[in-house]
Amino acid sequence: MSDWNLFLGDYAKRFEECLEQLAHDAVTERLWQKDHTLWKDKPHEITNRLDWLEAPCRMRGMTETLKKLARDVKKEGFTKAVLLGMGGSSLAPLLFSRVSWQDEKLLDLEILDSTDPSEIRSCTARNNPKDTLYIVSTKSGTTLETLTLFRYFFALLKEQGEENPGRHFVAITDPQTPLVEMARTHSFFRILCNNPNIGGRYSMFSSFGLFPAVLCGFPVTPLIEGALKGMEECFPDRRIKDNKGALLGAFLGSLALSGCDKVVFLCTSRELEAFGAWLEQLLAESTGKENQGILPVVEREWTVFPHQDVGYAILTKTQNENVFAFLQNLQRAGRPYVVLPLESPYALGEWSFLCEFATAIAGYFLRINPFDQPDVESTKRFTRQMIAAPQKVLTGHWRKEGEVTFLFGGGLSLKGALAEFLSHLREDGYLAIQVFSSYVPELEEVLVSLSSTFKRKYRTVVTTGYGPRYLHSTGQLHKGDKGRGSFLQIVTQNDGDILIPGEAQEPGASLTFGLLKMVQALADRQALREKGRNVLTLIVPEKKARQLILELQNAL
């Protein structure tokens, strides 16, 4: 791995104090001993979440087993693989499918982490179900989105005359979850039971990450060798100033304790944005709780924000003139940064483990448990309530102008609601644009432009997330941090819907995917409002979404 580049600027003194604190409290030693008192007095959701520390070592001997399973899948005649998962189950596989490093590619891999009917139809059209292996990936075995997608594709295969549809499915889950029994009942091709003491967002070096990686031809051997190097660089026998995981954790902790609670992940190539999305979940879901939080901002623009509460992590495969020039700009502005050189699968494995270790240490500085996600449950709770009474989903203080339905405050026009919403944006906060739609390039293009306009005009940090994916990532931080965020929801109504198959007693039965998507958006809105957050929700026909975003931009 190339030597890394760390610049502290005005935070150097606090950084040194954090290093002294790590040494004084024997933090790295206690972390490897799995001492829960680093974070909380009680071990709940800590001691049973720390096996990620040894995961690269344990999985090194499992790679041949996973490769044999992948070859068996290939022999069955499958040419495509679709992973059905959310959050920790999908983001590492998404990364492996996007980067250009390849070894022996066995199947084309696609990630489906959406309940949008158009996205589901597009995925079905791209991947003939009769030629496709579906990976049902959920730690708990109960993830609503994952199981409804499984029911859809299982029913579709039956409709197409498949005598044994279960052979098209592989389950990845913890032992003894409901999915294990379901997989046995439906005669899945294989069940992979993962180590239950690894949390979802720390599961890259487990079956959740490595089996999809093997399928799509990602070189897992150098990935794991790099992770083993990362482990070695975090071992407690190293002095704190030689411990890269501790240094990176102190970087995050010292910034956050000094009020610099946002980190821009500048992705210098499109493929590295998938690594940014993985880091986004790792940091946001781990630190955004108890009125604390380090906001990750996945960014592709070479922007030096004027705010004094923003640090930078530059994700790059090659340190070229653009990178060096941007670092010089950051130094002139006194902004702290770290460069993560990701020039090979080995380096990716190394930095991924170092970031996991650093996130745990950042949690120590913030005095929070980095392994739970208490505020994710609030959206799930409201989702269950709305599913029980779907006829009430769009009742209440909704207003309609033209083809846009909106909810903000009583008696306001759409223009007035937008103005009132924007008046609550804070320079020391952030704007999160939450899009419940399919992943359409032309929509993404205008969203990037809208985000840039918001940044320039309102001098605020802007993040963009697609629902329901972000619910399993930044959704925790949105409700658990200091409460300075504002949230613009854009929800599309689809031209055609898809019924979710299932028995009447099953969660989601009698629903459509379009209604489920709407329920998830509005449930998150309700959870945000319960926390006192500033939220504007806009609902628009799918074919008008791009136009709406352009109109919003023109109105700024």
CB 293 within 8 A of CB 478: no
Alpha helices, DSSP H, located in 258-344: 273-287, 321-333
Residue with tokens 């001993």: 33
pLDDT of residue 409: 61
Judged against a pLDDT cut of 80, whether residue 407 lies above it is answered with: no
Nearest to 4 by CA among 236, 263, 247, 220: 247
Pairing state of beta strands 337-341 and 5-7? antiparallel
CB 186 within 8 A of CB 165: yes
Nearest to 471 by CA among 188, 88, 196, 96: 88
Nearest to 480 by CA among 280, 257, 283, 291: 291
Distances (CA, A) of 348 to 198, 204, 220, 282, 473: 20, 11, 11, 15, 20
CA 387/CA 393 separation, integer angstroms = 9
CB 203 within 8 A of CB 192: no
pLDDT of residue 547: 95
Judged against a pLDDT cut of 50, whether residue 115 lies above it is answered with: yes
Tokens (6 digits) for 385: 């309530």
Q: What is the pLDDT averaged over residues 430-434?
A: 98
Q: What pLDDT band is residue 504 in, cutting at 50, 70 and 90?
A: very low
Give 461-497 pLDDT, tens digit per residue: 999 999 999 999 999 999 999 999 999 999 999 999 9
Tokens (6 digits) for 510: 């009698």
CA 152/CA 500 separation, integer angstroms = 6
pLDDT of residue 296: 98
Judged against a pLDDT cut of 70, whether residue 378 lies above it is answered with: yes
CB 468 within 8 A of CB 517: yes
CA 330/CA 8 separation, integer angstroms = 10
CA 485/CA 219 separation, integer angstroms = 39
Give 286-297 pLDDT, tens digit per residue: 999 999 999 999
pLDDT of residue 204: 98
pLDDT of residue 1: 36
Angle between helix 273-287 and 345-366 (nearest 10):
20
Query: End-to-end CA distance of the chain, in Å?
Result: 45
Sign of the alpha-carbon dihedral angle for 130, 132, 137, 143:
negative
Mean pLDDT, the chain, as a whole number?
A: 93
DSSP state of 262: E
User: Cβ neighbours of residue 356 under 8 Å, at least 6 residues apart?
Assistant: 52, 202, 204, 282
Judged against a pLDDT cut of 70, whether residue 332 lies above it is answered with: yes
Bigger pLDDT: 503 vs 527: 527
Q: What is the pLDDT averaged over residues 69-95?
A: 96
Judged against a pLDDT cut of 60, whether residue 185 lies above it is answered with: yes
- Provide the strand spans (E) within 317-459: 337-341, 399-401, 404-407, 430-436
Pairing state of beta strands 461-466 and 485-493? unpaired
Judged against a pLDDT cut of 90, whether residue 450 lies above it is answered with: yes
Give 415-428 pLDDT, tens digit per residue: 888 999 999 999 89
pLDDT of residue 2: 44
The domains found in the chain, sorted by start residue, are 5-37+224-366 (3.40.50.10490), 55-222 (3.40.50.10490), 376-555 (3.40.50.10490)
pLDDT of residue 394: 67
Residue with tokens 């979802």: 200
CA 227/CA 52 separation, integer angstroms = 11
Judged against a pLDDT cut of 90, whether residue 72 lies above it is answered with: yes
CA 89/CA 194 separation, integer angstroms = 11
Q: What percent of the chain has pLDDT above 70?
A: 96
pLDDT of residue 386: 85
CA 97/CA 191 separation, integer angstroms = 22
Q: What pLDDT band is residue 505 in, cutting at 50, 70 and 90?
A: very low
Q: Which of 103-107, 168-172, 213-217, 327-331 has the lowest mean pLDDT?
A: 103-107
CA 110 to chain centre: 16
Q: What pLDDT band is residue 385 in, cutting at 50, 70 and 90?
A: confident
Q: What is the pLDDT averaged over residues 117-137?
A: 97
